[in-house]
Amino acid sequence: MQWDKFFRSNLEPVEAYVPGLREEQIKEIAQVDTIYKLSSNESPFPPFPTAIAAMADQLVRLNEYPDGSSYELTLLLSHHYGIAQQQIICGNGSNELIDQIAQTCLEPGDEALYCWPSFVVYRSSTQIAGADRRELPLRQDGSYDLAALKAAITDRTKIIYICSPNNPTGGLVTQAELADFLSDLPDHLLVVFDAAYEEFVDDDYAARPLDFYDGVRPFVVLRTFSKMYSLAGIRVGYGFAPEPLVEQVNKVRAPFNVNSIAQAAARASLGDEKELTRRRALNTAGRERLYDCFDQLNLPYFKSHGNFIWVTLPDAMSTFDQLLARGIIVRSFDGAPGLRVGVGDELAVSKTIQAFEELFG
């Protein structure tokens, strides 16, 4: 059977997402009881207690479809951020929003522009839409090179993605750089600022993308409940986008894309600034301990503004295996000369440090 004839030709170069090893597999390989999963930039903490209670309350109503417009959640987000409700979109994770925007805007002949390495969905959603991609190098510190992106704009450029802090390197663009980049930008292109890790940022010079969001210019800001709010498993992300774009995205969006438990959990999580501050401080402290360890072992790394650190290694794959044998699972990237190590809780950070010391001390 010639299956190829059924499939769209532009799917050919798309790489299906390969999930990491399951916990049971790791336990079997490593012969350990406890594993430290530091491979997906997840929070090491459970969802907020208020979110857990809100999710439990929803269970008895699972016979009903969710609110297809995420009305209450977008209303709450609107009050929280002072942005009109009509300019807020919710997705099954912000991943889905990236896909939806690409589906809405990109077609063959268009070009998407971003730096690389970065979040893999910019690449896949561009390819699936049949558009071309241009991937520019990151700067030396692992951050997006906004000046290079601006200089690379052509008539065909339709979307520019900015990821800050960037996954997988943790580099940041500054408020001044973003201001520069956005000034005098041609208006035939849409800028999508992916701020998935913004809640972890604790530097005042960091770009605050919402300062530049006016609901008029073609500028979108995406955020997520998956990371700092510990809701990765239930899938809910959100974005701010001018109304004409929201209206078009609603055409490609599945009617009930955000489930009712996710909506309830997100509503109950928003606004707990005290817990956010506590978690941010723990993450920063964990990062500092890992930096000290890498410094002592002379392993180069990028200063990160997220909940993960990219460390350069002489033989990344063998280190990956040796960490795995100790029950520590990190993220490797095909052929890349390093690993992305998640910042776990205090114990996980200690275990990570101990393992690196054993391997490189």
Ligand X SMILES: Cc1ncc(COP(=O)(O)O)c(C=O)c1O
Q: Applying CB under 6 A, which residues contact ligand X?
A: 41, 93-95, 119, 163, 167, 194, 196, 224, 226, 232, 237
- Closest residue to ligand X in the complex (CB): 93
**For the chain, how many residues are written?**
361
Q: C-alpha angle with apex 83: 78 to 89, nearest 5 degrees?
A: 65
Q: Give the integer Cα–Cα distance in Å for 253 and 244.
A: 14
- Cβ-based nearer residue to ligand X, 167 or 263: 167
- Cβ-based nearer residue to ligand X, 163 or 268: 163
Give the 3-state secondary structure of residue 351. helix
CB of 298 to ligand X, least distance (A): 28
Residue type, 9: S
CB of 278 to ligand X, least distance (A): 22
Q: Give the integer Cα–Cα distance in Å for 267 and 142.
A: 34
Q: Give the integer Cα–Cα distance in Å for 216 and 245.
A: 10
CB of 168 to ligand X, least distance (A): 8
Q: For residue 287, give every residue at least 6 positions away whose Cβ sits within 8 Å of its Cβ, in sequence order, or none.
A: 304, 309, 343
Rg (CA), the chain: 21
- Cβ-based nearer residue to ligand X, 258 or 353: 258
CB of 155 to ligand X, least distance (A): 28
Closest Cα partner for 34 from 42, 43, 26? 26
CB of 127 to ligand X, least distance (A): 17
- Cβ-based nearer residue to ligand X, 234 or 323: 234
**Cβ 88 vs Cβ 74: under 8 Å:** yes
Q: Give the integer Cα–Cα distance in Å for 87 and 241.
A: 5
- Cβ-based nearer residue to ligand X, 197 or 301: 197
End-to-end CA distance of the chain: 56
Other Cβ atoms closer than 10 A to 247:
12
Could you give phi then psi for residue 115, rounded to 5 degrees? -95, 165
- Cβ-based nearer residue to ligand X, 81 or 360: 81
CB of 232 to ligand X, least distance (A): 5
CA atoms within 13 A on the CB side of 162: 30
CB of 119 to ligand X, least distance (A): 4
- Cβ-based nearer residue to ligand X, 95 or 257: 95
* The residue to which tokens 């970065």 are assigned: 118
* The residue to which tokens 């070009």 are assigned: 111
CB of 307 to ligand X, least distance (A): 10
- Cβ-based nearer residue to ligand X, 118 or 157: 118
